A and B are shown apart, each in its own frame.
Chain A
Amino acid sequence: MKILLNCIIAILLALVARPGVAGLLPGEGIVRDPVTGNYTATYVEEGEDGKDWIEKADFETATKIDPTVRSKFRHAEGWNTGYAYTINNGNAAKQAINNFDLDGLPINVVLLNTTPLLGSGKVVLEEFFDSAMTSPSEKWSGSGARNGQALNIGWLCRGWDHTTKSHNTASGIQPGESASGFGFTSPDLPGVFVAKLTGNTRYHHFSFSGPGPNPYRSDIGKEMAKIANNDFIPRDVAAPLIIVPDVFNAAIVLDRIRAHVATWAGRQLVNPAFAAQLDRYLVAAAEAYRLNNPKAGKEHLETLRRMLAKEHHNVDHDDEDDDDGEERKHATRFSIDRLAARVLDFDLRYMLKRMEHEHKESEHKKGRD
């Protein structure tokens, strides 16, 4: 009886131990430590003699953080928008936050005050973004680049310790602390974007002894890459997503706002019924401006603003945090996320002000003529 039981247990263990991913070689697998949340992978590596060997690699996850990001955005001089972020790391966190990335912004988003590096013939060799990005302290460094597909920007809290000549994993926003001062200015209008935050680890990859498995050709490599690539905590923030053309055109900007707002229902930022109402008025407003009927356009935008104000308290306070007051939280059914409402209200106010300005300019020009 005991032997039979042992056999059953052995079979069950064998079934459990089978790799859950098709295409893994014998001996390969990835195990997550339920206590630390870290991973250990065993993988097959080809030796120089062509023989296969089992190797082991560890991955320390960078998600043991509890971030809250508060977005501020306000009109700045010259039809620009100032963006600022405050990051809080909750008490429950076990790691310091040392990375805050806005990767994947539209490639043609403009940040003011970047530094062009000029080559011969005044050709721009590179555009440095650090001068355009403010940071909480000297330890934090902002940087960015356009990679041909997107604009990627982000902040890093450096962890190199010159005394010990090693990486200090304590650098960054400690659990229970906040840091503010992350910011930049852009002529482009805010939308709701997913920022990536990570905790301070010494190395954001599986630590192979050697090159490790190929993340594109080997199945275990693909699985390991998936773990490493998803090793961040996402948070919604306001970021420049609505491109404002150099020659302002209200209908075009409203079309872009509408296209962005249309993504919100899929991201659970707005319920479908409310999204449909927003869409209807945005279409009508854009059409009115396209038909040179600014009065009707203005009315539609104001209607939209009233709809948003009904849903959230002080939606037009740009420096407000993203939380409603307690009484409001309980009173309001969910129709639109507060950050989304603030972002849209900001964009609509921008449109109204800009159109008023354009109108005055036009009247002024007519008077001169």
Chain B
Amino acid sequence: MATRAIKQRTARCMGRNVAALLFALFATTPSMTQAAVESVAPVKLWCDGEAGGCTYPTDIEAAKAVELTYNSRYAATNPYHAYLVIVSCNGGGLCLYHFVNDLWTTVDGPLYLRRVLGCPIPMINPAIPYTYKYASGMCEREAQCPAPNTINPATGQCVPPEILTITLEGGTTTEPGTSLPFIATIKNQDNQPPKTPVTVKISLKVDSTSGGHDHGDNTRPRGGIANVGTCPSDATCWSEPSPANNGVVVFNFNAPEAAGTHTITATCEGCSNAATKAVDVKVNGIEPIPNFPYYALVETNGDVIGATDLHSNNHNLLPAAAGVLMRIAVNYHFHPKLRVLDWKTNTMVLPPPLHINDASLVWGGKFDIKGKWTGSHAEHMRGTSVDLRANENVGAIPPELFEEFDKRLMKIIPGDVTAEKFLRECSPNEKPSESNPNPVQHNRRPENYCVSQVDGSFDANRHYHVRLLGE
């Protein structure tokens, strides 16, 4: 009787398995759907033959359920105290049973289990089951993990959304015209990278009057980020998604030629903060030219020589260059071959102290004389060059001393080449502009003492440009 019952059960299982296999689909991980519905893919489950008994993820579990049900249902009531033992299952629904009674009669035989597609038991609130929906082909129930929370697929737990923070690492100073690397790192509240790629946005600002540029304005070059040469505004200049889940974006800050303080700001989609980093674009080591009795940095009326409203602090050099300038000043003032004629007394007298015009701005960098962030004067960037007055103003080196002064410069200035240690400079030819499309090209040349080749007028800008360190 018992044997027959088992055989019938196994036969039913076999027949149903065919239908179940036809209905089979691959299981998927749970995901959130819209309108607060929690939806999971159906999974294959093994049945124990009871109503609502297709709930077992493995065949051995289903078989053990059969064993338990049978023994509790029949063993106590049958006269032979027969009981059933499941010996093994092959994972495909074929199990081996061992049937024994108290008459020591044993029967071994196969037990065939069926498998159907069904809804898994929810891990969160398992008392609220999924219901299979034909329309979607999914198992659904009212969401137990409402947005913005999400279910962690690994743990099945409903977790709150990631709270992302961004940090910015990189240097704080760089030289004009160079690149400085930065790393933006995004982490969540667990100090882990974000689980999905996040777009990082970088913007760049510049303190418009920093670096000695008193004329600061909103056209001031900010520099660039990564492959963007110049950021045109304070808005986002460059953005990039962090590569797959590592939360790190690397980029360069491309410093402009003008020195100053720049602020790099990094944000990201979903970040709770903005990371900023201030970078001083400057030539390191530049210092104010020290006072010295044999050169003059100010006029007798107290005005700083060469200073303008655009750049009021124009007397800065590297200390080594300032040392050479001092030697040049001492030589100029005391060298016995460098004497000037005093017309009042008709005697040769010591020349006045050298009058020092533009050197470098406080942090070096581009010295845009006209305050337009462009133009030459390029060699005044590094704290190594200085202009010495050589026109017809008070304190200027007179033309009759040019040759001897040239010789002194060649001997004193370091370097093994001679010709490029200094230049005598005149005003450059004026370039056409909208307001003056055809300017007069005076073409003032140093060998002609900066006298116009057009009308013979003298160039009041004549000066020595001295490369104090030989470069």
Contact = CB atoms under 8 A, between A and B. Distances in A.
Interface of A: 45-51, 53, 55, 60, 101, 103-104, 117, 125-126, 128, 130-131, 141, 143-145, 147-150, 152-154, 156, 158-160, 162, 165-167, 196, 201-205, 207-212, 214-217, 225, 228-229, 231
Interface of B: 327, 330-331, 334-337, 368-370, 372-379, 399-400, 402-404, 406-408, 410-420, 423-429, 431, 433, 443-447, 449, 465, 471
A144 B404 CA distance: 11
20 contacts: A48-B370, A49-B372, A50-B374, A103-B410, A131-B336, A141-B407, A145-B327, A145-B411, A147-B412, A149-B416, A150-B416, A156-B404, A159-B403, A160-B402, A167-B403, A207-B446, A210-B426, A211-B428, A215-B420, A228-B419
Residue from B370, B408, B428, B443 with most neighbouring chain A CB atoms (10 Å): B428
Given A147-B413, A228-B419, A210 B379 contact: no
A152 B417 CA distance: 11
B420 A45 contact: no
A149 B414 CA distance: 7
B337 A141 contact: yes
B407 A156 contact: yes
A214 B429 contact: no
A207 B447 contact: yes
B399 A160 contact: yes
A116 B327 CA distance: 13
Contacts of B373: 50
A205 B376 contact: no
Contacts of B414: 147-149
B262 to A, nearest CB: 20
Contacts of A153: 411
Contact of B429 (A55, A166, A217): A55
Contacts of B431: 47-49, 51, 53
Contacts of B331: 126, 145
A101 B417 CA distance: 12
A225 to B, nearest CB: 5
B419 A211 contact: no
Nearest to A145: B411
Contacts of A53: 429, 431
A50 B375 contact: yes
A105 to B, nearest CB: 11
A2 B335 CA distance: 69
Contact of A209 (B327, B375, B443, B449): B443
Nearest to A47: B431
B420 A47 contact: no
Nearest to B402: A160
Nearest to B423: A205
Given A49-B372, A202-B447, A143 B411 contact: yes
Contacts of B377: 211
A14 B425 CA distance: 34
Contacts of A150: 416
A46 B376 contact: yes
Nearest to A128: B335
Contacts of A125: 330
A227 to B, nearest CB: 9
A212 B429 CA distance: 11
A169 to B, nearest CB: 10
Contact of B412 (A47, A145, A160, A166): A145
B86 to A, nearest CB: 86
B425 A210 contact: yes
Given A152-B411, A154-B407, A209-B429, 19 more contacts: A47-B375, A48-B374, A55-B428, A55-B429, A60-B447, A117-B330, A128-B334, A141-B404, A143-B335, A144-B411, A145-B411, A149-B415, A162-B400, A205-B424, A208-B423, A216-B471, A225-B420, A229-B418, A229-B420
A322 B408 CA distance: 31
A182 to B, nearest CB: 14
Nearest to A159: B403
Contacts of A55: 428-429
Given A141-B404, A156-B407, A126 B334 contact: yes
Contacts of B449: 166
Contacts of A167: 403, 447
Given A153-B411, A217-B378, A203 B335 contact: no
Contacts of A208: 423, 425, 428, 445-446
A209 B408 contact: no
Contacts of B407: 141, 143, 154, 156
A114 to B, nearest CB: 12
Q: Which 10 A-B pairs have the closest CB atoms?
A: A210-B428, A50-B374, A228-B419, A203-B447, A145-B411, A48-B375, A47-B431, A229-B417, A202-B447, A152-B411
A101 B447 CA distance: 22
A143 B337 contact: yes
Contacts of A203: 424, 446-447
Contacts of B427: 209-210
Contacts of B330: 117, 125-126
Given A55-B429, A141-B404, A160-B400, A130 B370 contact: no
B423 A225 contact: no
Nearest to A150: B416
A156 B419 CA distance: 15
A284 to B, nearest CB: 35
A104 B417 CA distance: 10
Contact of B403 (A50, A152, A160): A160
Contacts of B370: 48
A247 to B, nearest CB: 30
A225 B336 contact: no
Contacts of A130: 335-337
Contacts of A162: 400
